[in-house]
């Protein structure tokens, strides 16, 4: 009220002046005409509508027009969103057909957790009805609206402002208003009364409020975007959609689809039902139970019916188990990678006759990753993609698998084996973890109880948003490199494509670029590498070294495009076009995205484990323990390093060290993370380095270099120690002493030739990281220096300890 | 002579062999032989065998792990004049087990396995603290490897 007054007061002078102008004009005409117009005196503040017309009228008209215009715009926007939303749902449903089981499984784990929470009226809830395989909850959501909001909803519905306020309520434009929709509709609108800004946020937190937050989140987001149209319309529309969808999709194969359909239907039925409905996808039992309960409220003899059918189907489908899953395992390791295998070995060594079960969603037995981006590419064997054997520099061949299949025992035999053993369950994903009950649930609904559990789920490669948004065509020509199948597919692509672009200048990107660059010399393949930093390994190596390394990479046959930020990617004439932010355009056949790893923390929610916000991954203590009986190791563990502070390390040796430590602690050792892991990288045959600790290019560094001789190459290092994997050379090479060869060196090393040396990374004057640049078999000294954590006045003196001039 | 250059926050030093000939004045902290946190070699300070030593590869954890542990322990604690002569039974059992898994324990290794296990115990006495790195190479034929038995 007062505000209006002040505003008007401000406008008044303006009004006055313009009115004066008007008057003057009139006067002029008057004079011209010889008549004095009888206008309202200038001094009056014309607050009334009839007042000096022009201005007020103008303002009213303008404001009115603006309102109408914005409303119209919003309406069309929402309508468009609705359409887009529907298309997306269709896309999802087709996608879900391919991976229905997994979706079901994941969703299932979420509902239980979600149900427990949320009951307050969430503004947006309703839209959830959207049936999407990944989001069974949405359907549930609408139904789930708590009773309380229902009442409020009715009045609020009417007061709800136009579309802008109803983000959530959006449902696909299908309008088959069913009677059931009515109660739901009422519930839905309750939130809409909240400010429009909320919708976006609401969509996030718990889309429908009571039920599943997690699955619901994506749904609400979409819903929010889709045109809210009108509360009354939207809710029925959503429900309507699920209804028609449901009858159409009752095929055994399409569990995922039918589940959403059912869910959609059940949603209208009732809140109670909806949650069970969601579970129905992968959990026949709960669904059956919920059905009777659901029957209580609204109509829908129908929705419950399809459910049992679906349940039956899913039940049938979920037990094609060719592998019998053991019901209990004393040691359960989730994830079948390097950390898991190291832990298995450690447990078996320390606990005689231990029974260890590894559960992995990959189809392969545990294998090591480094050769996938290095040695396997240098192999001369044309069948390398099948055998996965690589020849080390010294000629010795080995497989990337840690152990051949005969090392492991069958999971059925695990309980009965006299001396225990290690069993691997492939192709099974753990979707839910019950910490209080000490058991986990797999994606096929079987449960395994454990005494001690290790989570070593690693991570999934990150993708660039521009690529994800670019559509199906671009995604088909993009590789996210991590597993054996990615190696196989990239190998195939490299033999057929003319040009490959690697986005990312870190370890993986640079190694792949060098490996493919090597191949390019033989086959004429064009290899491009682009990254936002100034040089390869820009976040690891100090600038001078990063520049030097980039030159080396270029010499391997790679076209390096530095300081490149990708703006968009399009597919034209079966070729990809990458548009950079600075205007450059790169045309290529295939993209490899090596832009980081997203740690897999899917189980955090169900297990109640903390996730670290700075580094990602599960937060564990110095002994790698998350909670009693649960440890985490490898890429997924954000642990406390007593010397270097909290960190998360994504390297091979760390996976081994932390896996081994976790195994020790699972068998009662209670040792903290103490032995520093190292890592290494090779960039072609001339440049190789080993590193330890925190190696971040933003830290101040001190580099001590000598000139490299022919003896100082990675090739020479492995030949001498007789091992293939660099980190092994330390253990195996215990008894031999370094050969002191005196080779005369030029008096002053060439200024820009960083042949070999040691680089110290300092934090508060203490060495926290060391790189041994083309200097090998000196890791124990480096480890000692970091462990001491002393402030050294002259790092050149410390560098002397490494004997960089000798072999 | 060494040359020093500063590039922003990074210092670069080039040194010749002569520069590094004088012994280092850097001081390292004394190692505590009984530090419970440290990684141990094959033989622990209390005389027991560290089955988790990476130097053993997968010998103690594989299908023949139990047999291997029996044979090796017997050998380790054997007080006979010819060390291990009272352990023939255990070694035979171990070899029999290994013959059942030729993929894991290739033929060449079997003959040398008992021999190398003797070698490794002697060696491990000499170096009790080996920097144990990851050991992923277990049963591949590499007769030249030292401690892997």
For chains A and B, count residue pairs whose Cβ atoms are closer than 8 Å. Answer: 212
Higher confidence at residue A418 or residue A157?
A: A418
Tell me which residues of chain A, numbers 261 to 280, contact chain B at a CB-CB cutoff of 8 Å.
Answer: none
Beta strands in A698-737 (DSSP E): 701-706
**A138 interface with B at CB cutoff 8 Å:** no
Most confident of A236-250, A389-403, A465-479: A465-479
Degrees (nearest 5) of the Cα angle A537, A538, A540? 65
What mean pLDDT is predicted for residues A527-552?
94
pLDDT at A561 over 90: yes
Q: What pLDDT does A55 receive? A: 81
Contact A144, A167 (CB under 8 A): no
ipTM value for the complex: 0.75
Q: Does domain B58-106 have CATH number 3.65.10.10?
A: no
Degrees (nearest 5) of the Cα angle B135, B140, B145? 65
Q: Are B9 and A700 a contacting pair at CB < 8 A?
A: yes
**A784 interface with B at CB cutoff 8 Å:** yes
| Residues of B in Cβ contact (< 8 Å) with A708 | none
Q: How confident is the model at residue A16 (pLDDT cuts 50, 70, 90)?
A: low
Degrees (nearest 5) of the Cα angle B45, B51, B56? 110
* Residue of A731, A792, A801 to mutate for B, most B C-beta atoms under 10 A: A731
What mean pLDDT is predicted for residues A330-358?
95
How many C-beta atoms surround the C-beta of residue B28 within 10 A?
15
- Tell me which of A42-46, A341-345, A567-571, B87-91 is least confident: A42-46
Q: What pLDDT does B107 receive? A: 67
**A803 interface with B at CB cutoff 8 Å:** yes
Contact B40, B129 (CB under 8 A): yes
Closest CB to A396 among B14, B29, B142: B142
Q: In the predicted model, what is the mean pLDDT of chain A?
A: 73
Give CA–CA dist A512/A71, Å, rounded: 53
Q: What is the 3-state secondary structure (H, E, C) of A49-87?
A: CCCCHHHHHHHHHHHHHHHHHHHHHHHHHHHHHHHHHHH
Q: What pLDDT does A647 receive? A: 95
Q: How confident is the model at residue A330 (pLDDT cuts 50, 70, 90)?
A: very high
Q: What pLDDT does A135 receive? A: 39
Give which of B133, B137, B129 is closest to B59, Cα–Cα: B137
pLDDT tens per residue, range A722-733 = 455 666 545 444
Query: Regarding beta strands A421-425 and A355-359, do their DSSP bridges make them parallel or antiparallel, or are they unpaired?
Result: parallel
Tell me which residues of chain A, numbers 627 to 666, contact chain B at a CB-CB cutoff of 8 Å.
Answer: 652-653, 656-657, 660, 663-664
- Tell me which of A30-34, A423-427, B65-69, B131-135 is least confident: B131-135
- pTM (two decimals): 0.62
Q: Are B148 and A748 a contacting pair at CB < 8 A?
A: no
pLDDT tens per residue, range A194-206 = 343 333 333 333 3
């Amino acid at each position: 009220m007062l505000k209006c007054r002040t505003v008007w007061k401000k406008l008044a002078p303006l009004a006055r002046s313009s009115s004066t102008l008007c008057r003057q004009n009139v006067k002029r005409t008057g004079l011209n005409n010889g008549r004095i117009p009888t206008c309202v005196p200038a001094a009056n503040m014309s607050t009334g509508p009839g007042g000096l017309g022009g201005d007020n009228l103008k303002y009213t008209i303008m404001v009115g027009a603006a309102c109408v215009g914005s409303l119209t715009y919003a309406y069309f926007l929402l309508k468009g969103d609705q359409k887009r939303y529907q298309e997306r749902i269709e896309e999802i449903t087709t996608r879900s057909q391919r991976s229905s089981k997994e979706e079901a499984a994941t969703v299932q784990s979420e509902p239980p957790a979600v149900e427990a929470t949320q009951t307050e009226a969430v503004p947006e809830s309703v839209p959830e009805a959207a049936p999407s395989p990944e989001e069974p909850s949405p359907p549930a959501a609408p139904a789930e609206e708590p009773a309380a909001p229902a009442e409020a909803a009715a009045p609020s519905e009417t007061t709800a402002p136009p579309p802008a306020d109803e983000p959530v309520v959006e449902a696909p434009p299908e309008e088959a208003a069913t009677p059931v929709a009515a109660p739901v509709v009422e519930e839905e609108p309750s939130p809409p009364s909240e400010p429009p800004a909320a919708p976006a946020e609401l969509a996030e937190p718990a889309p429908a409020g009571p039920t599943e937050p997690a699955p619901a989140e994506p749904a609400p987001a979409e819903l929010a975007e889709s045109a809210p149209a009108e509360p009354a319309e939207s809710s029925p529309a959503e429900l309507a959609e699920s209804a028609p969808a449901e009858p159409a999709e009752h095929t055994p194969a399409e569990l995922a689809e039918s589940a959403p359909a059912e869910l959609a239907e059940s949603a209208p039925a009732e809140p109670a039902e909806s949650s069970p409905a969601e579970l129905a996808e992968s959990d026949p039992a709960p669904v059956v139970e919920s059905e009777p309960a659901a029957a209580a409220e609204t109509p829908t003899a129908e929705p419950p019916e399809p459910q049992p059918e679906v349940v039956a189907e899913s039940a049938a489908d979920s037990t094609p188990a060719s592998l019998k899953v053991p019901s209990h395992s004393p040691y359960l390791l989730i994830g079948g990678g390097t950390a898991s295998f190291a832990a298995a070995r450690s447990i078996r060594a320390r606990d005689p006759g231990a029974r260890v079960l590894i559960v992995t969603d990959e189809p392969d037995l545990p294998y090591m990753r480094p050769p996938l981006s290095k040695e396997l590419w240098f192999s001369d064997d044309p069948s390398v993609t099948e055998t996965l054997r690589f020849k080390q520099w010294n000629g010795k061949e080995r497989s990337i698998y840690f152990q051949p299949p005969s090392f492991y025992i069958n999971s059925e035999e695990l309980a009965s084996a006299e001396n225990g053993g290690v069993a691997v369950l492939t192709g099974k994903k753990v979707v839910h973890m019950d910490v209080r009950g000490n058991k986990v649930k797999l994606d096929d609904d079987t449960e395994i109880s454990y005494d001690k559990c290790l989570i070593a789920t690693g991570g999934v490669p990150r993708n660039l948003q521009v690529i994800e948004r670019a559509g199906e065509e671009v995604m088909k020509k993009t590789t996210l490199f991590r597993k054996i199948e990615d190696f196989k597919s990239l190998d195939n692509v490299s033999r057929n494509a003319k040009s490959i672009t690697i986005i990312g200048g870190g370890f993986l990107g640079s190694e792949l670029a060098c490996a493919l660059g090597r191949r390019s010399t033989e086959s004429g393949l064009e290899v491009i590498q682009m990254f936002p930093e100034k040089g390869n390994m820009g976040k690891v190596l100090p600038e001078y070294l990063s520049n030097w390394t980039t030159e080396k990479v270029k010499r391997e046959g790679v076209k390096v495009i530095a300081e490149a930020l990708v703006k968009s990617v399009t597919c034209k004439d079966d070729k990809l076009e990458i548009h950079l932010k600075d205007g450059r355009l790169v045309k290529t056949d295939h993209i490899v995205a090596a832009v980081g790893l997203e740690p897999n923390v899917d189980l955090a929610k169900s297990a109640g484990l903390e996730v670290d916000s700075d580094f990602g991954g599960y937060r564990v203590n110095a002994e790698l323990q998350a909670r009693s009986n649960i440890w985490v190791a490898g890429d997924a563990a954000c642990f406390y390093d007593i010397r270097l502070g909290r960190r998360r390390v994504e390297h091979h040796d760390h996976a081994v060290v932390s896996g081994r430590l976790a195994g020790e602690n699972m068998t009662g050792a209670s040792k903290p993370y103490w032995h520093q892991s190292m890592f290494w990288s090779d960039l072609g045959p001339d440049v190789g380095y080993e590193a330890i600790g925190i190696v971040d290019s933003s830290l101040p560094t001190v580099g001590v270099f000598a000139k490299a001789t022919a003896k100082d190459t990675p090739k020479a290092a492995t030949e001498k120690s007789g091992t293939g994997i660099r980190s092994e050379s330390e253990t195996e090479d215990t008894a031999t002493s370094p050969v002191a060869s005196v080779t005369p060196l030029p008096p002053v090393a060439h200024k820009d030739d960083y042949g070999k040396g040691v680089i110290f990374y300092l934090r508060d004057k203490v060495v926290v990281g060391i790189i041994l640049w083309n200097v090998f078999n000196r890791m124990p000294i480096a480890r000692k220096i970091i462990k001491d954590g002393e402030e050294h006045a002259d790092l050149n003196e410390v560098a002397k300890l490494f004997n960089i001039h000798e072999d | 002579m060494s040359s020093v250059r500063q590039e922003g926050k990074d210092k670069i030093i080039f040194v010749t062999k002569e520069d590094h000939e004088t012994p280092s004045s850097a001081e390292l902290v004394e190692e505590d032989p009984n530090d419970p946190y440290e990684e141990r070699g094959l033989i622990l300070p209390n005389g027991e065998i560290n089955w988790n030593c990476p130097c053993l590869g997968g010998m103690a954890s594989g299908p023949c792990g139990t047999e291997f542990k029996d044979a090796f322990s017997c050998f380790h604690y054997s007080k006979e004049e010819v060390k291990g002569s009272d352990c023939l039974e255990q070694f035979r059992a171990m070899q029999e087990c290994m013959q059942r898994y030729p993929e894991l324990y290739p033929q060449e290794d079997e003959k040398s396995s008992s021999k190398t296990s003797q070698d490794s115990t002697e060696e491990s006495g000499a170096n009790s603290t080996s920097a144990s790195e990851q050991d992923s190479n277990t049963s591949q034929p590499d007769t030249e490897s030292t401690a892997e038995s």
